[in-house]
Chains A and B, each alone.
Chain A
């Protein structure tokens, strides 16, 4: 954090700032020294903020027309689609917005994995991020139930039944969650309330996430600690603002493509059939962004252990800063880790694919191997790699390899002396 004193120029500004230092905060945010080598993978923080605001604004509008009642919810969504002025647009933005949100968050998470952004001193930023990710999944699941289609109903049934795996109290918890003996109207009304609440919790956590980020400052593609402010940094405004803005525009093109050209491609046709508690759709599949975890759940042939495996797959990420024993942050200087990283990416994509397929035959076998590898990566590969891997020499500063042309430590040191 830059600790320079800020004094507003105007007399009123000074008067106000002495009472509530908002201008000091604004000055900190605009001057915030940012590594000058941040690439486009670093623009997803801003994109995610945009996604959150989009979901909150469109959600607020949808809530003005939606009716949270088992007999009326399905029709009220169709009412939004057909009768409400621009209702189709707002609902399609909200529905596809959820997918865009997850697309961005997965890129954001995998960027952290590649460049080691979760490592000391950024563990708290990372853990807050994992909590945000968990809340996002909760919000997405709850929101998916609200249209009260077949997938809504059966998705809600399957996911709430996960809690029945808990020994002794499981059944009681499920009945408590439902407010009845099955997913029904009481379930729908509480899901609507919680779906409305969670985005604001996320917003609060995003503030903490950014606050925690501004303490050590951004990681960067080289993954080294840098002096701030220095010749290695640029002020957040205008440099990063412009770059983030450009990336956001590119992202919005993709977003708009889905909304205007294929608004239903990421959904399921079954959800345009009203919920029917007597008929389970032949093939229940969650939304694409939950598929890898769904594959892990199904790959374990025991109910309780399946649920435990699925939850562990997410929670293991929170322990990542301690499971990864390597001192080097960026994969750029970790030739072995770089290969395992891409294997993990492939592994998660494979899990996502088999999660969408029926749980039988070859798909089940592949899901089991991929699940085993997922845990192997975090529990075995990462801890050992930190000790065994021969890493490449890391430059002393961001500027050094650009101006000096060599990441060689000795050379860099010589040059540093020469310049001063």
Chain B
């Protein structure tokens, strides 16, 4: 046992440091959080897209939250090709059924998962998309097949409002 007793002064020091630390954190956090997306950015959360004029084999690009979304009406041949892929060959294994609820319509974020470029349509070694920035190849289901991207292109939340309209977000 040490003879040193906790003095009134020690208590005051500790209490002061503790209050100071909490106070500093309370001031620093608003300074950090102000950089996060603000209310006006968050408000633009969903977009409705008219798809009535799209023929099979056509891709359109729409802007959602400042990012491009690819909507492709796939041909029967492309659907068959996407389904035929062996999951063992994939870097990020996902079934085509899980990516396109309605197999005719592929709706995905047109953002390369490597460093965020917009891949080019109908390019690359797998008949899907090709990112010109650092050479990632995606298949017709938007799955990464070759190149530095770590994962498949993301599927945003979306639903068919009616047969002619998709709501993203």
Would you call A277 and B67 a contact (CB within 8 A)?
A: yes
Closest B residue to A172 by beta carbon equals B36
Identify the stretch in A153-161, A326-334, A385-393 within 8 Å (CB) of chain B at 4 or more residues: A153-161
Q: How far is the CA of A283 from the CA of B132 in the complex (A)?
A: 6
* Cβ of B29 to closest chain A Cβ, rounded Å: 13
* B41 at the binding interface (Cβ < 8 Å): yes
Q: How far is the CA of A130 from the CA of B166 in the complex (A)?
A: 52
Q: Is the interface of B mostly helix, strand, loop or mixed?
A: loop
* A182 at the binding interface (Cβ < 8 Å): yes
Would you call B118 and A279 a contact (CB within 8 A)?
A: yes
Of A184, A186, A190, A280, the contact of B118 (CB 8 Å cutoff)? A280
Q: How far is the CA of A212 from the CA of B118 in the complex (A)?
A: 47
Would you call A181 and B117 a contact (CB within 8 A)?
A: no
Would you call B148 and A181 a contact (CB within 8 A)?
A: no
Would you call B148 and A179 a contact (CB within 8 A)?
A: no
- Residue-wise, chain A 165-181 has the 8 Å CB interface mask toward B (1 for contact) of 00000000001111111
Would you call B35 and A179 a contact (CB within 8 A)?
A: yes
Would you call B133 and A303 a contact (CB within 8 A)?
A: no
Of A179, A303, A304, A358, the contact of B36 (CB 8 Å cutoff)? A179
Closest A residue to B150 by beta carbon equals A303
Would you call A278 and B133 a contact (CB within 8 A)?
A: no
Would you call B37 and A179 a contact (CB within 8 A)?
A: yes
Closest A residue to B110 by beta carbon equals A278
Of A181, A282, A298, the contact of B65 (CB 8 Å cutoff)? A181
Would you call A284 and B148 a contact (CB within 8 A)?
A: no
* A302 at the binding interface (Cβ < 8 Å): yes
A275-319 with Cβ < 8 A to chain B: 277-284, 298, 300-304, 306
* Cβ of A355 to closest chain B Cβ, rounded Å: 12
* A162 at the binding interface (Cβ < 8 Å): yes
Q: How far is the CA of A175 from the CA of B36 in the complex (A)?
A: 7
B26-67 with Cβ < 8 A to chain A: 32, 35-38, 41, 61, 63, 65-67
Would you call B65 and A284 a contact (CB within 8 A)?
A: no
Q: Is the interface of A mostly helix, strand, loop or mixed?
A: loop
Would you call B68 and A278 a contact (CB within 8 A)?
A: yes
Q: How far is the CA of A278 from the CA of B121 in the complex (A)?
A: 12
A residues near B119, Cβ cutoff 8 Å: 280
Closest B residue to A154 by beta carbon equals B117
Would you call A181 and B41 a contact (CB within 8 A)?
A: yes
Would you call B65 and A359 a contact (CB within 8 A)?
A: no
A residues near B66, Cβ cutoff 8 Å: 180-184, 277
* A360 at the binding interface (Cβ < 8 Å): yes
* Cβ of B5 to closest chain A Cβ, rounded Å: 44
* B116 at the binding interface (Cβ < 8 Å): yes
* Cβ of A362 to closest chain B Cβ, rounded Å: 14
* Cβ of B12 to closest chain A Cβ, rounded Å: 37
With contact pairs A157-B115, A182-B66 given, residues A190 and B132 touching in the complex (Cβ less than 8 Å): no
B residues near A360, Cβ cutoff 8 Å: 135
* B134 at the binding interface (Cβ < 8 Å): yes
Would you call A277 and B68 a contact (CB within 8 A)?
A: yes
Q: How far is the CA of A377 from the CA of B56 in the complex (A)?
A: 55
Of A182, A183, A280, A304, the contact of B133 (CB 8 Å cutoff)? A280
- Residue-wise, chain A 250-288 has the 8 Å CB interface mask toward B (1 for contact) of 000000000000000000000000000111111110000
Would you call B68 and A303 a contact (CB within 8 A)?
A: no
A residues near B61, Cβ cutoff 8 Å: 278
Q: How far is the CA of A63 from the CA of B61 in the complex (A)?
A: 36
Can you list 25 pairs linking A and B with CB atoms under 8 Å apart?
Answer: A157-B117, A158-B117, A158-B133, A175-B36, A176-B32, A178-B37, A181-B41, A181-B65, A182-B66, A186-B35, A186-B37, A186-B38, A186-B41, A190-B35, A277-B67, A278-B61, A279-B118, A280-B132, A282-B132, A283-B132, A284-B117, A284-B133, A358-B135, A359-B135, A360-B135
Given A181-B37, A278-B68, A298-B148, 6 more A-B residue pairs with CB atoms under 8 Å apart are A175-B37, A179-B35, A186-B41, A279-B118, A280-B132, A280-B133
Q: A-B pairs with the 8 shortest C-beta distances?
A: A182-B66, A181-B65, A161-B116, A161-B115, A280-B118, A280-B117, A158-B115, A157-B116
